[in-house]
Structure 1
Amino acid sequence: MGELVRKDAPVNEEIAQRPALRPARSTALLATALLLLAGAAWLARAVWEIRLAAAGEPASGPPDQGDGNHRPLTSLEDAYHIVGAVGDVIVVFCAAAFLAWLWQVRDNARALSGRPPKYRGFWVYLGWIVPVANLWVPRGVVADVHRTSAPDKRLPFVLNVWWALWLIGMLSGVGLLYRESRDGLIERAYTDVWQLLLPDAAVVGAAVAAVFVVRAVTAAQSERTAAEQV
């Protein structure tokens, strides 16, 4: 009996000396809720683009007449502006919630593994906007968190699905990276709506896939923590 106590003691001491883990369930729930809301907002945008394409361009031409001249918007075009603006606000809050969750699970992964993360802290934020690096760094940050949290588990397949859809949505001609004016998007909806719907579908799919990524990483940390407390 005494031997068992002596063998377990170093493990218990090591766990006790780790930085306190902060449960990520609350931030995960907030992130998933806003991801779904962002996906719904982007879906609403796609619906309005289809409605614009079905209505057809007015005889007066596109909203942007050139040389700084803009005609009055139709009610459908005006509604598209509102839907797009609301969606932009939701995306900002969604990004903030996702980054807050990512920072928290990154800290937890460092506490669980006892080693520093592969990527420095500033990459959690700059990784999304630095050209070229934004093609792989954010995925790498999430992958590193999962590997250090659950070293005995394979990376979830949905991680690659999420990242592939994100890149399509970001790099397409009217995607997240290229901010065309709303009037320019309306003109495209009248002429080549498929150019809008493809990135829209990718962004909606990425939002849904990101929900499963958040759930998988959070669950991996919860299982690891529960196993070590037994």
Structure 2
Amino acid sequence: MEKDSPLPVPASDPRPLRGAARLAVVALALAGVAWAARAVWHIRLAMAGEPASGPPDQGDGVHRPLNALENSYHLVDSVGGAVTAVCAIVFLLWLDRLRDNARSLSGAEPRYHHLWLFLGWIVPVVNLWIPRGMVADVHRSVFPDRRLPAVVNWWWGLWLAGLAGGVGLIYADSTDEVIARAYNGVWPLLAADLVIVAAAATAALMVRTLTAAQQERVDEVARTDS
């Protein structure tokens, strides 16, 4: 069994973490459900087939009236986007608290500046490694002698897969263009939906794993102080 490093004296009292972790897990679960619902509607659109009037976006700025199924997909897409946005905020609040507690427990400043907590997800190129790097830095600063939990790499691999291909978390197509994709080639959409649901589930497991590890160290420090 690997031996942990001696317990450092906290620079300040760590903040409560379990509540933020529970909210993050719930938000990730809801995001997974939202993307699963999108997958169901993609299947429904593919099974219904494209209407004789053609796709909703007919080019040159012409859009035909949507049918009931297409209207319902717009609703599912809008709700899913809102849930995903809330999930991102709650996840970042958890990660921010995890970083603060790691600094408190280790006495070391985080490797990445606080601004990267937000910019790291949206700045091209560096968003391929900075978010994972922040999570890894938090764990290693508190547990320098422990290996990074494998779930972190699984989460990050699935996240990157969800970004790839232009049909996942970020894509340039409008909702009507996605509907046309579902009519004419649904499998790439379903593959992206499945990857994103898996990424949300793995992220929830990562939140639980890292929270439990950090809480273990907080409890050890509290026992030492007492």
- Measured against the shorter chain, the TM-score band is over 0.9
Counterpart residue identity of residue 228, structure 1? V
Contact 1:52/1:189, CA 8 A, preserved across alignment:
yes
Q: 2:118 aligns with which of 114, 118, 125?
A: 125
In the alignment, what sits opposite 2:3?
none
For residue 177 of structure 1, give the secondary structure of its aligned residue in structure 2.
coil
Q: 2:176 aligns with which of 152, 170, 183?
A: 183
Aligned counterparts of 1:182 and 1:119: Cα–Cα separation in 2: 36
CA RMSD of aligned residues (A): 1.4
Counterpart residue identity of residue 224, structure 1? R
Aligned counterparts of 1:150 and 1:58: Cα–Cα separation in 2: 58
Q: 1:218 aligns with which of 191, 211, 218?
A: 211
Aligned counterparts of 2:196 and 2:139: Cα–Cα separation in 1: 23
Aligned counterparts of 1:179 and 1:98: Cα–Cα separation in 2: 24
Listed one character per residue, the Cα deviations across residues 15-35 of structure 1 (whole Å, up to 9, x for unaligned) are 3x6211101111111111000
Contact 2:106/2:142, CA 8 A, preserved across alignment:
yes
Q: 2:148 aligns with which of 147, 151, 155?
A: 155
Deviation at 1:152, TM superposition (A): 3.0
TM-score between both structures, scaled by the size of structure 1? 0.91
Contact 2:102/2:142, CA 8 A, preserved across alignment:
yes
For residue 65 of structure 1, give the secondary structure of its aligned residue in structure 2.
coil
Deviation at 1:171, TM superposition (A): 2.2
Highest Rg: 1 or 2? 1
In the alignment, what sits opposite 2:136?
143
Structure with the bigger RCO (C-alpha within 8 Å, sep 6+) is 2
Runs of 4 or more above 4 Å deviation: none
Q: 1:173 aligns with which of 157, 162, 166?
A: 166
Q: Find out whether 1:27 has 2:6 as its counterpart.
A: no
Unaligned runs of 5+ in 1: 1-10
For residue 166 of structure 2, give the secondary structure of its aligned residue in structure 1.
coil
Deviation at 1:55, TM superposition (A): 0.7
For residue 58 of structure 2, give the secondary structure of its aligned residue in structure 1.
strand
TM-score between both structures, scaled by the size of structure 2? 0.93
Q: Find out whether 1:198 has 2:197 as its counterpart.
A: no
Listed one character per residue, the Cα deviations across residues 4-59 of structure 1 (whole Å, up to 9, x for unaligned) are xxxxxxx99x73x6211101111111111000000100010011000100111111
